[in-house]
A and B are shown apart, each in its own frame.
Chain A
Amino acid sequence: MRQFLLFISIIVVGLIFIARLFYLQVYTTGSHSLFADNAIRKVYDYPKRGFVFDRNGKLLVSNQPSYDVMVIPREVEPLDTLEFCNLLKITKDQFLAKYEKSKHYSPRLPSVFVSHLSKEDYAVLQEKMRKFHGFYIQKRSLRHYEASIGANVLGDLGEVNNRTIENDPYYRMGDLIGKQGIEASYENTLRGVKGIKFIQKDRFNRNIGPYKNGEFDTIPEPGKDITITIDSDLQAYGELLMRNKRGGVIAIEPATGEILAMVAAPTYDPNLLVGRDRSKNFTKLYNDSIAKPLFNRSLQGVYAPGSPFKLMNALISLQEGVTTPKETVTCYRGYHYGRSFMKCHCASGTRNNMISGIQHSCNAYFATMYRKILDKNGNASEGINVWSEHAKSFGLGEFLNNDLFVGQKGRIPDREYYKYAYPKTFYSSYTVSNAIGQGEVATTPIQLANMAAAIANRGYFYTPHIIKNIEDETLPEQFTKPKYTTIDSQHFDPVVEGMHEVYKRGTAASLQVRGIDICGKTGTVENFIKLDSTKVQLTDHSIFLAFAPKENPKIAISVFVENGYWGSRYAGKIASLMIEKHLRDTITRTDLETWILKHSLEDEYAKPYSGKPFGINGRSAFQVVDDEEYAELRALLEQINNPDK
């Protein structure tokens, strides 16, 4: 027994050691990746972010240098604080607070002292920097928006949030990432790939050389330049016309689905969200809960489409064979159904066929057609599903699935949608409002523009998109392959003819442009809001949908102006002007231009919040901008027309 004591002790200790090793190295061991190793410092090298050009090759977005003053507290020597503060334009208290903060963060490591110096401040400071030990200047790159247009298109950069960091290991605290617009949707293309250097640290946190001779280091891959489909002149013109109004304008090239202009009003200068003042300005924009400048009305604004939706009902009725273009409906100043009545502005006894029905936007004609579609097989439940499928084939009621960062589905109801409102019986008379684009249908301006493009193409469309070209990359198939609607192309001719009549003799006759065959459709949408929990009716929204020229169309456009009253009052004028601008580059209808620039809707928007009783529609007065502002708008217009000056 005695000779086994040491023997057993040795074996037991050996087993305990192996067990402990197993516990330390296999059981509780953490991640073995280089990124999790705190003995290795990771230094990132940020590549140049890609530039953005418009469809004509004009530079829209580039980069600008920015300068941060950095500090390493341990290395700071006594300095002339007053001079330093004056150079940096900060007070002494701020200086001390910042210094304490960086010292608290780490006395050995650099931290940002003052960020985003302007070029001018940098120039002055650089001369004197040698006097301030422990401080140095670090160059960084910021976005520069060449023209102050298209904030909603281009978007902006901001620091990544924690959720993104958790989901995507590429990003690290403090990295910039696209937050909106194309900066967000083409983030991966524009940003490139940052380079990384692994550096071996010692226990005092000093660098002692590259890890494994830089074997794992990568060089940064620069971001790619992209060309977008926006025509910056048209975009600038649209934004100018939408001054003092709210709403959205979308112009699409029907032959390709390229978005020529995407105006959301009100908008802002994209340079506001760059650099030092970003968070201040962003908060200001974000908190404007009434005008909502960050809300992209052209993509996210869901509105009842109004009369332009009649075109859809006309197309479906032809496709379903429930009518012919020649068949007439007599309008008696409106349409009776059951105990209800829908008003119309036709003279009593007017006989409308399809073309004149579109031309005069006859409610009775389209209510009749809608009911015929639904009752085709004697079963409105089936009928509405068929109707819904047709409408959805135009890209309505669903996401467009394109490269825009935001969007809304809108709404095209089917039987399923009505199952709570009408659980048992369902008759075509229940939803007659859909016939005239009120009721339950809802669309966004881009969906309407796409519908216009599909009509312009007589039956197909390309998914509206904003990307025109990426450096050595081809566009995805979804943007280059046409999508066919469920309506046969021969049924489009009477509808197009009707739209042409709208311009010739109909509701938009006053908006003709000599020499251009425009096809359009006005819309006037009633709108209600909830104000202090009561339903209040406000002035109608003004809607317009058009394409031109009639044969071989070059542009399809939808304009939505909130509280603009009838369709041709605001929206129609803007659409005509945009079309002329795009097709001819000069404006002959300067009377329309002057009218639009002069008139403002700001008072109209302020009404509901004024606390005073107010009149709507015909009972609200025109608001004309003052001379000073008008002169300013004129000057901007001049700049757009003659950019070289």
Chain B
Amino acid sequence: MHEERLFAQLRGALERAADGQSGRLVVVRVWIGALSHLTEERLREAWPALTQGGPAAGATLRVEVSSDLAHPDAGTVVLVSVDLADEEQLP
């Protein structure tokens, strides 16, 4: 259930990031804090379901896992950035 809540937040953040932007999301970068209960494996497993039907469907997920226990966001997951590609230039 905790993961579901996190994923819902990430999904909402991805929608807001894509809102008003031209182009399609092709890369999503996520940072996982050292004290977050989310693992990279779990995020990758959920990624297809998390992005299905949304602006990040088919986007490549890039994950950075922090080992810094003293980081102020160590207990969180951060959607760092997204790369957008212009539609007309897509094959």
On whether the two chains bind one another, the answer is no
B interface with A by C-beta (< 8 Å): none
Interface positions of A (Cβ within 8 A of B): none
